[in-house]
Amino acid sequence: MKFIDIPFEQTTAVTDAILAVLALACSLYVLQVGRSDRWKAGVWAGAFGLLTVAAILGTIAHGFQMSAATKDLLWQPLNLALGLTIALFVVGVVYDWWGQAAARRVLLPMLAVGVIFFVVTRIFTGTFLVFVIYQAIAMLFALAVYTWLAAKQRLSGAWLMAAGVLVTIIAAAIQASQAVSFTFIWQFDHNGTYHLIQMIGVILLTLGLRAAFLAKKI
């Protein structure tokens, strides 16, 4: 395969690769810092790990020249990874709101929802709207939960978690709009911009998780 020669796609691939490295590092860090609550750490590490897989596949899809059929084949596991990422994200939010017992009860149903999302993307191919709706519902739920937990001072790091979710929503809105493009040394379109902003969101979420885990050790 040859590297793609479209500038926007090149920066999208590079930022996807950086996001993959960051998400993997955060996944491993959460496992390390979350030893006081291994179940919760496993859920969030799994979410970041699946994001890593999706970003790696995105790097390949955007960074190399390939046939439409090959790209479509590559997008299938990518969409599945994204669907399961958001599913585990919701499980993590439920844990922080209602506790481990509730999170355990919703784990399998949410994973099933992630798979259903993937099936829907196969039925309604060629549209990003399905993912936008799925992600928006999950992120708005998470934003409401973490804002409430922060206001009530019920969870250390809740404001960081809320900020991470808000940044993720902003990133998703920019990607969905498909209207953002700029040049700063390299050319960025809505996808590359999404990756840059999403990195900030991932870092904020990781810092929020760190604060919660460290508070639990005390």
pLDDT digits (tens, 9 = 90+) for 156-184: 999 999 999 999 999 999 988 888 888 88
**Cα angle 126-132-29, degrees, rounded to a multiple of 5:** 115
pLDDT digit string, tens, across residues 70-116: 998 999 999 999 999 999 999 999 999 999 999 999 999 999 999 99
On whether residue 2 sits in a domain, the answer given is: no
**Residue 70 maps to a domain:** yes
Please give the Cα distance from 45 to 29 (Å, whole number).
8
Task: Compute the Cα dihedral for 196, 138, 44, 77 and give only its sign.
Answer: negative
Residue 36 lies in a domain: yes
pLDDT band for position 155 (cuts 50, 70, 90): very high
Average pLDDT over residues 2-6: 86
Residue 154 to residue 4: CA distance in whole angstroms: 49
- Tens-digit pLDDT profile for residues 20-72: 999 999 999 999 999 999 999 999 999 999 999 999 999 999 999 998 889 98
Number of domains in the chain: 1
Question: Residue 1: inside a domain, yes or no?
Answer: no
Instruction: Give yes or no for residue 127 having a pLDDT over 70.
Output: no
More confident residue, 217 or 176: 176
Q: What is the DSSP letter of 183?
A: E
- Residue 182 phi/psi, 5-degree rounding, is -160, 165
Domain boundaries, position 133? 7-217
Neighbours of 213 (CB within 10 A): 21
- The yes-or-no verdict on residue 218 having pLDDT over 60 is no
Q: Are 113 and 128 in contact (CB under 8 A)?
A: no
What digits encode the pLDDT tens for the residues 141-150?
Answer: 999 999 999 9
Token reading at 13: 């691939």
